[in-house]
């Protein structure tokens, strides 16, 4: 459908994308293929196989579809456990009429259980240098109750119980490394993979009374795959309800147990911990022409006090005649406000990459496109991150031959995590905003052919001037108050103008910004 005449090139409505391939959970061949997921990416050759695989394409497509389902829509405030079980009143965002989905409700209940654990497990009071050891107690409980959590989750769909061995490794690695006491963008990808596998299996297809037949209900393709409208409603709920509640859980873990950033690029990274909220959040804002990227770096986005994770998810900055606020809560603004709340000093000092986005990218369409491409390059395309991703027999399938070792044993042996701190480090890649080439301005990942490795933006010179990234611990940011993270690497000997990233030349504008 053509966009309304009022929409300009600076805005972009939701785009139609190909559907995600489904799995028939009752097929004898599928059931026979179930196997515990294993790590398979051990070399650059394996990385290339991964980037050309169907599993990679499906992860990108799933993230893209969640973003398109969120365009122009507000974050739905995470509901409490009482609201989920019907004993409490819904939030104001519940005024949006929509059909109840038993699968979505079950995932929200699971996440509420994990929130409760964080409240119950007190941080240890003994002096600890990196992270709080109580996080290992939290992780031990998750590992012990993993089967029970999945049996409760799948209680209304018993035919999915055989897939628990494939689902479990993704859920347990979605909340951080219990060995290293850290969290990073790789854990976020693993949670996306867990949701994606549930989606592929049709877990979210059947709704309330329509699911009365349970495991013995219809097995028709139409029933199993659901309608296009239903799939979009599910993806909307995943993007606007499930992912925000997941953020509330992991933000709470980061704060309560002082989790270290896993594989952080330090001050030159996008965010110490996350990437997905910036993709979904910029999609939420893609119809905005008055609230622009240039506004989010201002002090109006800094909360007067440090909000709780739940408060951040519906936080709106104060608007003024010169600095409008976003029209509704969204994951981009929530993430930016969290950075403002946690870090001291000027925004351009502690978050120079985001500051460059704010000052050089003119609209949310380009921010969204750039975030998606940067996620592919910096997260899915980096071996230190994806070498910890695991592949099973029916969900996310490895196409490059046999792997080595079981995921649980390997993780304990080397102390690795899903975010990728171990292994050879690779240079960071410059952000792709408005860089030209690749997809057209209205193109979206999944809608067109994925770029090959040779089509990706060329590597920056950052690693040459700053050394290997992702392995060092961060110290205080360049401000008067210390905070967790990795110290910003020394600047090159040559002068860098203003606050530009060290790979930029000529002023403070980002090198990927299109002139004129």
* pTM more than 0.95: no
Q: What is the pLDDT of residue 229?
A: 83
**Could you report the per-residue pLDDT of 374-383, keeping only the tens digit for each?**
999 999 999 9
Distances in Å between the alpha carbon of 293 and those of 128, 364, 365? Answer: 39, 7, 10
- Going by the DSSP 8-state scheme, the letter that residue 475 receives in this structure is -
- Determine which helix (DSSP H) or strand (DSSP E) holds 219, and give its type and residue range: none
Lowest mean pLDDT of 126-130, 426-430, 456-460, name the range.
456-460
Dihedral class, residue 485 (left if φ above 0, else alpha if ψ from -120 to 50, else beta):
left
Q: How many CB atoms lie within 10 A of CB 488?
A: 20
Does position 457 have pLDDT exceeding 50, yes or no?
no
> Could you tell me the pLDDT band of residue 299, with boundaries at 50, 70 and 90?
confident
Q: Which residue has the higher pLDDT, 65 or 405?
A: 65
Mean pLDDT rounded to a whole number for the chain: 78
Q: What is the mean pLDDT of residues 341-358?
A: 91
Take residue 454 and report the two structure tokens written for it.
């040779």
**Could you report the per-residue pLDDT of 164-192, keeping only the tens digit for each?**
999 999 999 999 999 999 999 999 999 99
| 361 CA to centre of own chain | 21
Contact between 427 and 460 (Cβ < 8 Å)? yes
Does position 409 have pLDDT exceeding 50, yes or no?
no
Angle at CA of residue 335, ends 332 and 371, nearest 5°: 50
Contact between 322 and 463 (Cβ < 8 Å)? no
Q: Which residue in this structure is represented by tokens 């009482």?
A: 82
d(CA 439, CA 451): 8
Take residue 244 and report the two structure tokens written for it.
């925000």
d(CA 409, CA 407): 6
Q: 85: helix, coil or strand? A: coil
Q: Which residue has the higher pLDDT, 215 or 273?
A: 273
Does position 304 have pLDDT exceeding 60, yes or no?
yes
Q: What is the pLDDT of residue 83?
A: 63
Q: How many CB atoms lie within 10 A of CB 288?
A: 22
d(CA 218, CA 255): 46
Take residue 74 and report the two structure tokens written for it.
């507000």
Domain edges within the chain: 41-212+223-516
| 194 CA to centre of own chain | 12
Q: Which residues lie closer than 8 Å to 494 by C-beta, 6 or more apart?
A: none
Q: What is the pLDDT of residue 212?
A: 39
Q: How would you classify the pairing of strands 260-261 and 182-183?
A: parallel
Contact between 434 and 370 (Cβ < 8 Å)? yes
Take residue 382 and report the two structure tokens written for it.
């980096």
Q: What is the mean pLDDT of residues 102-110?
A: 97
Lowest mean pLDDT of 103-112, 138-147, 175-184, 418-427, name the range.
418-427
**Could you report the per-residue pLDDT of 39-56, keeping only the tens digit for each?**
999 999 999 999 999 999
Does position 19 have pLDDT exceeding 50, yes or no?
yes
Does position 434 have pLDDT exceeding 70, yes or no?
no
Pick from 474, 243, 187: nearest CA to 343: 474
Does position 433 have pLDDT exceeding 90, yes or no?
no
Q: Which residue in this structure is represented by tokens 């119809």?
A: 287
Q: Which residue has the higher pLDDT, 49 or 325?
A: 49
Lowest mean pLDDT of 148-157, 381-390, 400-409, 503-512, name the range.
503-512
**Could you report the per-residue pLDDT of 477-493, keeping only the tens digit for each?**
334 344 344 444 444 44
d(CA 333, CA 296): 7
Q: What is the mean pLDDT of residues 393-400?
A: 94
**Could you report the per-residue pLDDT of 282-297, keeping only the tens digit for each?**
999 999 999 999 999 8
Q: What is the pLDDT of residue 362?
A: 95
Contact between 215 and 449 (Cβ < 8 Å)? no
């Amino acid at each position: 459908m053509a966009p309304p005449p009022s929409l300009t090139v600076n805005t972009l409505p939701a785009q139609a994308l190909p559907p995600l391939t489904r799995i028939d959970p009752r097929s004898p061949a599928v059931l026979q293929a179930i196997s515990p997921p294993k790590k398979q990416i051990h070399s650059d050759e394996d990385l290339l196989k991964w980037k050309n695989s169907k599993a990679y394409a499906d992860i990108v497509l799933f993230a893209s579809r969640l973003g398109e389902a969120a365009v122009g829509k507000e974050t739905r405030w995470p509901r409490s456990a009482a609201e989920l079980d019907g004993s409490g009143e819904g939030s104001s965002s519940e005024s949006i009429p929509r059909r109840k989905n038993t699968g979505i409700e079950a995932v929200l209940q699971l996440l509420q259980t994990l929130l409760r654990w964080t409240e119950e497990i007190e941080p240890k009071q003994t002096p600890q240098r990196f992270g709080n050891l109580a996080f290992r107690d939290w992780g031990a409980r998750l590992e012990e109750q993993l089967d029970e959590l999945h049996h409760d989750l799948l209680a209304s769909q018993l035919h999915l119980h055989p897939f628990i061995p494939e689902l479990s490794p993704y859920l347990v690695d979605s909340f951080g490394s219990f060995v290293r006491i850290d969290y990073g963008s790789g854990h976020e990808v693993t949670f996306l993979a867990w949701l994606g596998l549930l989606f592929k299996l049709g877990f979210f297809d059947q709704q309330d009374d329509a699911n009365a037949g349970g495991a013995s209900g219809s097995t028709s393709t139409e029933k199993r795959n659901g309608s296009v409208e239903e799939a979009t409603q599910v993806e909307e709920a995943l993007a606007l309800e499930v992912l925000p509640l997941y953020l509330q859980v992991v933000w709470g873990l980061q704060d309560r147990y002082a989790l270290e950033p896993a594989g952080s690029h330090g001050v030159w990274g996008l965010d110490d911990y996350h990437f997905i909220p910036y993709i979904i959040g910029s999609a939420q804002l893609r119809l905005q022409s008055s609230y622009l990227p240039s506004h989010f770096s201002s002090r109006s986005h800094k909360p007067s006090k440090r909000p709780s994770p739940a408060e951040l998810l519906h936080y709106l900055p104060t608007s003024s005649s010169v600095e409008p606020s976003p029209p509704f809560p969204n994951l981009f603004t929530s993430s930016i406000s969290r950075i403002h709340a946690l870090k001291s000093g000027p925004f351009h000092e502690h978050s120079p990459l985001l500051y460059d986005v704010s000052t050089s990218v003119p609209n949310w369409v380009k921010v969204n496109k750039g975030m998606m491409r940067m996620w592919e390059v910096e997260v899915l395309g980096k071996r230190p991150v994806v070498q910890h991703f695991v592949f099973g027999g029916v969900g996310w399938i490895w196409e490059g031959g046999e792997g080595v070792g079981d995921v649980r044993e390997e993780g304990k042996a080397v102390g690795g995590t899903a975010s990728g701190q171990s292994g050879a480090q690779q240079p960071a890649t410059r952000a792709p905003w408005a860089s030209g080439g690749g997809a057209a301005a209205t193109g979206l990942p999944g809608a067109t052919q994925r770029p090959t490795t040779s089509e990706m933006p060329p590597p920056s010179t950052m690693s040459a001037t700053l050394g290997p990234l992702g392995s060092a611990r961060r110290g205080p940011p360049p401000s008067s108050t210390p905070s967790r993270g990795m110290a910003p690497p020394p600047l090159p000997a040559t002068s860098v103008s203003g606050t530009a990233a060290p790979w930029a030349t000529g002023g403070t504008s980002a090198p990927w910004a299109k002139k004129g």
